[in-house]
Structure 1
Amino acid sequence: MSEERHYFPGNNTPLGFFSYYGHILGQREANRIICIKGGPGTGKSTFIRKIAGHFAAKGEPIDYLHCSADENSLDGIVLKDKKVAIIDGTSPHMTDPVTPGAVDKIINLGEFWNEDAIAANKDTIIDLNEECSRWYRIAYNYLNAAKSVYRNLEEIYNSCAEDSEIYKLVAGIIDRVYTDSEISIMAGRKKKFFASAITGEGVVHHIPSLLTDMKQIYLINSPVGYPNSSFMEIIAEGAIYRGMDIEAFYCSMCPGEKMEHLLIPNIGAAFVTLNRYHDMEPWEIAGGDESKQEIILLDMNDHMNKSLLEKDADLIRSLNEEYDILLNKTVKNLDKARQTHMKVESMYVPNMNFTQISNLAEQVEEELEKIG
């Protein structure tokens, strides 16, 4: 078995579909980036999964990039040792070649469909696509409403936070984590992804898979809406200034601004936000050798003014109820979008030559075997 990690390069957010696909593999670090083109139901995920299975059997460490529209579908993989990415390049991701031939390659699965048979369903496909877009618009409107509630929670927790105590906590962590590290003239790189996603099946996360190789794991317990990002950003900047690459995983509600989780692979340190939407017990995140992992529990509730929290207790309770209601409505409409998309897929599946697609996957496997 190979080492594997699972996360989302894109997400459903109050801003609509939010993409960090550009962070998957940089042009200079990549040996090959393969962009898969084709319509719904054309076998992109199956194609990607087949290649992943081939290299997983050989022990290649693999990152599995999940789809926020359907968590069980893959939008891509990264073969980490080979520095190869295979990515679904269709809407809404729209990943296109940047350095064609030298780095990027396009594979068009549309070459293996029966165009006449698909065209016969033109009006139905267009109607279903429009219906699918409508469900997404409704879902994103609910998410926008949820974000307003989230901001109110954030406002309350900001006013309750005991900043001086938090700064002491952060200073102690930085001193401990970076004890043997000096400031570097070469800044580290920052990659951005999502560890969890809002899907038609609810809020889904794969956080434990990201922590297997981490030696020191900080579990930061905090309520939904608590401003952990400033805490995370200070620690992240400390790593970057010391020449360390980091992986930052962002909040679905504030995708461009709020870091929820942080990995610093160079020193095996991880910082994970826990709340009721991604809650875990320490035993759930233990790697293969538990004795090599140190798990530190931090409770940010201990660093808030208790009297102020008590004063706003009824409001906090009400806001959490409203937030849950709006998020549930979001999920229901995302599920309607998913079900509608599956109907579109059913128009393509019978009209695809999957035998030829499977043969093509084997050809790609042979090509990638040559990359050291």
Structure 2
Amino acid sequence: MNGTITHQFGRAFTGQGVKNIYSDLISEARKVYFIKSPPTFKLSDLFKQVGYHYVKRGYDIEWFYDPLHADTIEATFVKGSRILFIQASHPISFEPKFYGTTHHVVSFYEAYDENKLREHGEFLREKTLHSEQWLDKALQTMTNAKNLHDEWEVPYISGMDWSGFDAQAEALLNETFTTLKFNKTPQRTHRLMGTLTPEGAKDYFDSLTKGVKRRIFIKGYPGSGKSTLMKRFAEKAESLGLDTQWGWCGLDCNSIDYVWLPELQTILFDSTSPHEYEPEHAGDEIYDVKKFRDSNEANHISVDGIVARYKEEIFHATEYLQVYSTDDETIRETLDTCVNNFKWKEIEDHLLRKIDNSSVM
């Protein structure tokens, strides 16, 4: 029987800069293949081939997508055996630590024609410098949006019925965990819920939660304690020996958007814009925290201006990412014309034979 494929992002453009979870994923992995090359679209095809190799052998995998380019994969993670194949050059720069044991380097640099690189060198340099300016503008605008979102929370924080909030949270913990206790050290993993892309905000909620028995949709205003609740939920689970997965926010990288408990097949999820979903399956439920803050007309008037400015900043950040994405696409396509395809396939085939002959998948 074939394994499953989960789709998600490995990077996000946040109010604190570009965040990725690849360092955590490298630590989570038992074996890592660091794939080195100049910026390219060709590695995405390799990661797909590797993914299908394991899926056909019954392994579940995760594909991590480039937030700039739809359907472009920059890492494949094989669950269970915990093998990671990751694009480890710009814009994701990672170096191996454990040479000769669990970390392996596969370099495609020798597949590039030096003469062709020199021919395009000045154009690539100018295009790279131009693209970096647009990325800087996008990230600064995301910082502005994050600051406005912080302002948006203020009117709702004051006046919250925190005692009622805490009582409901305690009831959720008691209901979920009852008398559970596992005699093991819990494992915490990290993922990203979604991010802003050149096409707007995007997430992979459907892929992340397919087959989950219990999905808890948190509904609440900004600043109503949703992230704090999820962290409390996760920490309680860990105190009982349960594994957790923390899904980090694509705007504020200090905040989380979901907590997933694989052993209980339960996910607690911030179901508010820009990733607002409604229950649709048996086992889905709404967890309402809006009721702990009376929202009147004065509240809405006080935040209307903030919300309008926030949406404008997100709109401009999206525009800047579109320009950056176009430049990045041109850079990759130009570099791909410099590839010796025969040499590239030779390196690629060597890697595929290596994993095919591996005694431990």
Letter in 1 for 2:273: R
Partners of 1:111 and 1:160 in 2: CA distance? 63
Please, what TM-score do these two structures have when normalized by structure 1?
0.90
Letter in 2 for 1:39: P
1:227-242 to 2 correspondences below 5 Å: 227-242=225-240
Partners of 2:224 and 2:122 in 1: CA distance? 47
Question: What does residue 19 of structure 2 align with?
Answer: 18
Unaligned runs of 5+ in 1: 287-292
In structure 2, the residue corresponding to 1:276 is in which secondary structure? coil
Confirm whether residue 158 of structure 1 aligns to residue 157 of structure 2: yes
Which deviates more from structure 2 when the two are superposed, residues 96-105 or residues 37-46?
Answer: 37-46
Partners of 1:119 and 1:142 in 2: CA distance? 35
1:69-148 to 2 correspondences below 5 Å: 69-148=68-147
Q: Deviations over 1:30-53 (max 9, x none)?
A: 1x2011111122622221122112
In structure 1, the residue corresponding to 2:63 is in which secondary structure? strand
Among 242, 263, 277, the alignment partner of 1:266 is 263
Among 291, 298, 302, the alignment partner of 2:291 is 302
Maintained 8 Å contact 2:39/2:91: no
- Structure 1 vs Structure 2 CA RMSD: 1.9
Aligned-residue sequence identity (percent) comes to: 15
Maintained 8 Å contact 2:131/2:328: yes
Confirm whether residue 177 of structure 1 aligns to residue 164 of structure 2: no
Aligned length: 358
Deviation for aligned residue 1:303: 2.1
Letter in 1 for 2:339: M
Maintained 8 Å contact 1:42/1:352: no
1:1-372 to 2 correspondences below 5 Å: 1-26=2-27, 30=30, 32-41=31-40, 43-182=42-181, 186-224=184-222, 226-255=224-253, 257-283=254-280, 286=281, 294-306=283-295, 309-369=296-356, 370=358, 371-372=360-361
Q: Deviations over 1:59-97 (max 9, x none)?
A: 321111111232421110111133210011112321211
Deviation for aligned residue 1:269: 1.1
Question: What does residue 289 of structure 1 align with?
Answer: none
Deviation for aligned residue 1:355: 4.3
Q: Measured at CA, do residues 249 and 94 of structure 1 come closer, stay the same or move farther in structure 2, by a change above 3 Å?
A: same
Maintained 8 Å contact 2:185/2:241: yes
Partners of 1:129 and 1:325 in 2: CA distance? 27
Maintained 8 Å contact 2:219/2:272: yes
In structure 2, the residue corresponding to 1:40 is in which secondary structure? coil
Q: Measured at CA, do residues 22 and 237 of structure 1 come closer, stay the same or move farther in structure 2, by a change above 3 Å?
A: same
Partners of 2:3 and 2:350 in 1: CA distance? 22
Maintained 8 Å contact 2:238/2:244: yes
Please, what TM-score do these two structures have when normalized by structure 2?
0.93
Deviation for aligned residue 1:294: 1.1
Partners of 1:360 and 1:60 in 2: CA distance? 24
In structure 1, the residue corresponding to 2:268 is in which secondary structure? strand
Maintained 8 Å contact 1:3/1:61: yes
Partners of 1:363 and 1:110 in 2: CA distance? 15
Maintained 8 Å contact 1:66/1:76: yes
Deviation for aligned residue 1:197: 0.9
Partners of 2:70 and 2:258 in 1: CA distance? 20
Which deviates more from structure 2 when the two are superposed, residues 323-332 or residues 70-79?
Answer: 70-79
Maintained 8 Å contact 1:50/1:361: no
Maintained 8 Å contact 1:187/1:241: no
